[in-house]
Amino acid sequence: MKLKIEKEILLENLNAVTKAISTRNIIPVLNGIEFNLEKKGLYLTATNNDITIKTFIDKKNIKEINEEGKIIIYGRYLLEIIRKLPSEIITIEEIDGNKTVISTKNSKYNLNCFSVNEFPKIDFKETSNPIIMLSSTLKELINQTSFATSLQESRPLLTGINMKIIGNILECVATDSYRLAKKIIKINTPVEESINIVIPARNINELLKIIESEKDIEMHIFNNKILFKYDNILFQSSLLNGSYPNTDNFVPNNFEMEVEVNLIDFYNMIDRASLLAQSKDKNTIQISIIKDKLIVNSSSQEAGKVEEKIDIINKKGEELKISCSAKYLLEALKTFETETIKLYFNGQIKPIIIKESDEGTLIQLILPIMTY
Amino acid sequence: MKLKIEKEILLENLNAVTKAISTRNIIPVLNGIEFNLEKKGLYLTATNNDITIKTFIDKKNIKEINEEGKIIIYGRYLLEIIRKLPSEIITIEEIDGNKTVISTKNSKYNLNCFSVNEFPKIDFKETSNPIIMLSSTLKELINQTSFATSLQESRPLLTGINMKIIGNILECVATDSYRLAKKIIKINTPVEESINIVIPARNINELLKIIESEKDIEMHIFNNKILFKYDNILFQSSLLNGSYPNTDNFVPNNFEMEVEVNLIDFYNMIDRASLLAQSKDKNTIQISIIKDKLIVNSSSQEAGKVEEKIDIINKKGEELKISCSAKYLLEALKTFETETIKLYFNGQIKPIIIKESDEGTLIQLILPIMTY
């Protein structure tokens, strides 16, 4: 295998595929990136047996293809080397069957390689009817929900995002059992058979790091895996097995109380109040709704106490005192981009719901904390 | 004590004094910042018994001085609170003798305070003949040397910067016994009695964080402490006791070999070569001088080997092979800003010297590593 290629083109593709190389890999060859040079171009593949990423560099973007072939190069070293090389033409050449020489005018790297036979053979099957959406739509969908997944491996399913598609309605749900995030969007082409899968959040977060520009993205969904096609990149993730809890009835339809406030003011007051909250983890704050004011209180034995207030823009219902985690509230508020948001309550021991408006398709739910 | 002050003015001063609050303080009151409000303005003081910082806000920069007095407020909480408050007028008021209320239009913080009597009384004595230099000169002096101090507390003196002043010549030296950095400058007014002190590097690095704009800085030097006066800030540090090793003869005057190379090209080649160096800590590289080329080699059992070369601009002497730590070399090279640098050698087991030119007043010395 021998080729000449511009640094920037190679680097961009290496940046994408190395997202599939995990730092805690115990199988040596999974630290490698497969270079497969064919007449039509160069395929790069990396996998950790959970995520697999494959990119393609067309021959028109390669300076010279001197000799076709396959090699497996140590991924992390390669990325750092290419990143630090000056912006020049780089020559990559296999020698003696188990070494690769990376060279520019003044630099020459002689890298050990893995055996081509040890690298897993990955199947990138596609469906005939992928779901297609803009990359920005997928990005928003994930960012508005994935933060609410659980980090605890004790309930593996909750570490994933539940994606359900019925007809042309796609719903994503994430919950760690203390809070829940739900987003509903319409897709262009309805599915014939409904879909209900759980995508590992940490895998799809790696996909988001690769998506840079606004392009169509195709989702090919199977029973045990999902394949995303974006630009010249194939990104495949395993799915989590098991049936995700049915969360349909978690969000009530009727509320005793509704309050509309300015989003930024509300966010900032919670942020400031959380400085003096009791425990670092949960940092409980108390929200009070009195007349036309929303008041937030919190206190810490060491430092003291704080009271913050903002004006309520619109309100239905009387008075209320309710406590919840400032951290959860802040994370939920970060997913909104409207000027105002609405908070919905059913008393002090029922979930708090946050939406952009009554018709909002993004729903954040937070369980209150009982304080005595 | 009661005053009204603009957020930004208070924040700027809090940012400075909190540099004296260490996170591992076991004496509670040393977590506090002393507010001392007098007719002429507000003094803020913080100390960890090693560094003490005092700033002064003139009454013309304070909106209202309602009641003079003294309080000690928990520093870290206060800084975070003020940082997050909107840009408004902030009211600070002592109540009940042991609490402070910080309030703006919509926020009210009720903070616990320390007892005023527990706070150390600090003496900020000045000398009649301070050494005066531009803040940028001091900053450069420290940045070019302090990185070479030792991090090991086993030889406490080596954790400091040795500052010697004889007449109008000021010399700073730092060494961890594997490398040495030395910088010589001229000061405007000669000293009558020569000075030889050791300033803790971590303390003076805190001072550098506070220096933002180009102003005169005064150094008042005593046997056991040094006081820096900069703008409205007093910064006092303890000194390290003991006699610093005499390093005068460490840098030879004659060399068998001299090589001039482009600084950026040399830095980048070492940086790339160090990627494949054997041990993460020392990352040994080998430098070879052959004809008009400087060649760098390094290798790692796991990854492979690398060879980098650059052109030599000027050279005295024949050929040489020498090994050293890439990390130390890179840190030393970072202190130069010229287009080219000169490397001086006396064979493969004698120190490597780096200077801007033969007359350079910045000297970096690195011991070689013996390889067999």
Q: Which pLDDT value is given to residue B96? A: 84
Nearest CB among A74, A85, A275 relative to B272 is that of A85
Nearest CB among B109, B305, B306 relative to A304 is that of B109
Report, in angstroms and rounded to the nearest whole number, the Rg of chain B calculated over CA atoms. Answer: 25
Contact assignment for A109 to B304 by CB distance below 8 Å: yes
Could you tell me the two tokens for A6?
Answer: 């511009």
Same fold, A2-118 and A257-366: no
Q: List phi, psi (to 5°) of A118.
A: -80, -20
ipTM: 0.87
Residues A286, A298 contacting (CB under 8 angstroms): yes
Nearest CB among B272, B303, B309 relative to A84 is that of B272
Contact assignment for A107 to B310 by CB distance below 8 Å: no
User: How big is the CA angle at B79 (ends B73 and B81), to the nearest 5 degrees?
Assistant: 95
Contact assignment for A268 to B86 by CB distance below 8 Å: yes
Fold of A131-238: DNA Polymerase III; Chain A, domain 2 (3.10.150)
Q: What is the pTM of this model?
A: 0.90
Residues 281-310 of B with CB under 8 A from A: 302-310
Query: Of A328, A284, A275, A368, which Cα lies nearest the Cα of A147?
Result: A328
Residues of A within 8 A of B80 (CB-CB) are 275
Residues of A within 8 A of B11 (CB-CB) are none
Residues 250-269 of A with CB under 8 A from B: 268-269
In which element (H, E) is residue A73 found?
strand A69-74
Q: In what side-by-side order are the strands of the sheet with A169-175?
A: A195-200, A160-166, A169-175, A179-186, A362-366, A352-355, A340-345, A257-262, A314-316
Q: DSSP label at B203?
A: H
Residues A323, A287 contacting (CB under 8 angstroms): yes
Residues of B within 8 A of A109 (CB-CB) are 276, 304-306
Q: What is the pLDDT along chain B (372 residues), one digit of tens a residue?
A: 999 999 999 999 999 999 999 777 788 899 999 999 999 999 999 999 999 999 999 999 999 999 999 999 999 899 999 999 998 999 999 998 789 999 999 999 999 999 999 999 999 999 999 999 999 999 999 999 999 999 998 899 999 999 999 999 999 999 999 999 999 999 999 999 999 999 999 999 999 999 999 999 999 999 999 999 999 999 999 999 999 999 988 999 999 999 999 999 999 999 999 988 766 556 899 999 999 999 999 998 888 999 999 999 999 999 999 999 999 999 999 999 999 999 999 999 999 999 999 999 999 999 999 876
Nearest CB among B74, B86, B275 relative to A81 is that of B275
Residues of B within 8 A of A77 (CB-CB) are 275-276, 303-304
Residues B39, B25 contacting (CB under 8 angstroms): no
- pLDDT tens per residue across span B331-341: 999 999 999 99
Q: Which pLDDT value is given to residue A278? A: 64
- pLDDT tens per residue across span A77-125: 999 999 999 989 999 999 987 899 999 999 999 999 999 999 999 999 9
**A215 interfaces chain B, CB cutoff of 8 Å:** no
Relative to beta strand A293-300, strand A340-345 is: unpaired
Residues B220, B234 contacting (CB under 8 angstroms): no
Nearest CB among B77, B99, B106 relative to A308 is that of B106
Contact assignment for A112 to B303 by CB distance below 8 Å: yes
Q: Which pLDDT value is given to residue A280? A: 59
Query: Does the pLDDT value for residue A303 go beyond 90?
Result: no
Residues 8-67 of B with CB under 8 A from A: none
Query: Of B230, B86, B231, which Cα lies nearest the Cα of A268?
Result: B86
Query: Does the pLDDT value for residue A23 go beyond 90?
Result: no
Q: Which residue of B has its CA nearest to A86?
A: B268
Residues A320, A331 contacting (CB under 8 angstroms): no
Three-class DSSP category at B12: helix
CATH number of B257-366: 3.70.10.10
Tell me the residue type at B254.
Answer: N
Contact assignment for B269 to A306 by CB distance below 8 Å: no
Contact assignment for A276 to B77 by CB distance below 8 Å: yes
Q: Which pLDDT value is given to residue B279? A: 62
Q: Which pLDDT value is given to residue A168? A: 96
The mean pLDDT of A173-182, rounded to a whole number, is 97
Query: Does the pLDDT value for residue A314 go beyond 90?
Result: yes
**A272 interfaces chain B, CB cutoff of 8 Å:** yes
Nearest CB among B77, B271, B275 relative to A303 is that of B77
**A108 interfaces chain B, CB cutoff of 8 Å:** yes
Query: Of B165, B107, B101, which Cα lies nearest the Cα of B132?
Result: B165
Contact assignment for B106 to A77 by CB distance below 8 Å: no
Q: Which residue of A has its CA nearest to B111?
A: A304
Residues of A within 8 A of B308 (CB-CB) are 106-108
Residues B276, B299 contacting (CB under 8 angstroms): yes
**What is the pLDDT of chain A when averaged over all its residues?**
94
Q: Which pLDDT value is given to residue B315? A: 96
* Residues in CB range of B19: below 8 A, 6 or more apart: B46, B51, B53, B206, B207, B209, B210
Q: What is the DSSP string of A269-311?
A: HHHHHGGG-SSTTT-EEEEEEETTEEEEEEEETTTEEEEEEEE
Q: Among B101, B104, B107, pick the best mutation site for testing chain A contact (most A Cβ within 10 A).
A: B107
Altogether, the residues listed in chain A come to a count of 372
The residues pairing with A89 across neighbouring beta strands, listed in sequence order, are: A6
Q: Which pLDDT value is given to residue A98? A: 85
Q: Tell me the nearest-neighbour CA distance from A365 into chain B, angstroms.
A: 26
**B347 interfaces chain A, CB cutoff of 8 Å:** no
Contact assignment for B308 to A106 by CB distance below 8 Å: yes
Number of cross-chain residue pairs from A and B with Cβ atoms under 8 Å apart: 85
**A280 interfaces chain B, CB cutoff of 8 Å:** no
Nearest CB among A85, A111, A269 relative to B304 is that of A111
Q: Which pLDDT value is given to residue B24? A: 74
Rounded CA-CA distance A307/A319 in Å is 17
Q: DSSP label at B18?
A: G
Query: Of A182, A184, A179, which Cα lies nearest the Cα of A169?
Result: A184
Domain positions in chain B are 2-118, 131-238, 257-366
Query: Does the pLDDT value for residue A301 go beyond 90?
Result: no
Q: What is the DSSP string of B163-194?
A: EEEETTEEEEEEE-SSEEEEEEEE-SS--SS-
In which element (H, E) is residue A229 found?
strand A225-230
Instruction: Look at the block and give the residue holding tokens 């985690």.
Output: A325
Q: Tell me the nearest-neighbour CA distance from B273 into chain A, angstroms.
A: 9
Q: Which residue of B has its CA nearest to A308?
A: B107
Alpha helices (H) along chain B: 7-17, 75-84, 135-143, 201-210, 263-273, 326-333
The mean pLDDT of A126-153, rounded to a whole number, is 96
Sign of CA dihedral B64, B66, B69, B74: negative
**B112 interfaces chain A, CB cutoff of 8 Å:** yes
In which element (H, E) is residue B71 found?
strand B69-74
The mean pLDDT of A255-277, rounded to a whole number, is 95
User: How big is the CA angle at A175 (ends A171 and A178), to the nearest 5 degrees?
Assistant: 145
Q: Which pLDDT value is given to residue A38? A: 98
Three-class DSSP category at A216: strand
Q: Which CATH number fits domain B2-118: 3.30.559.10, 1.10.220.10, 2.40.50.100, 3.10.150.10?
A: 3.10.150.10
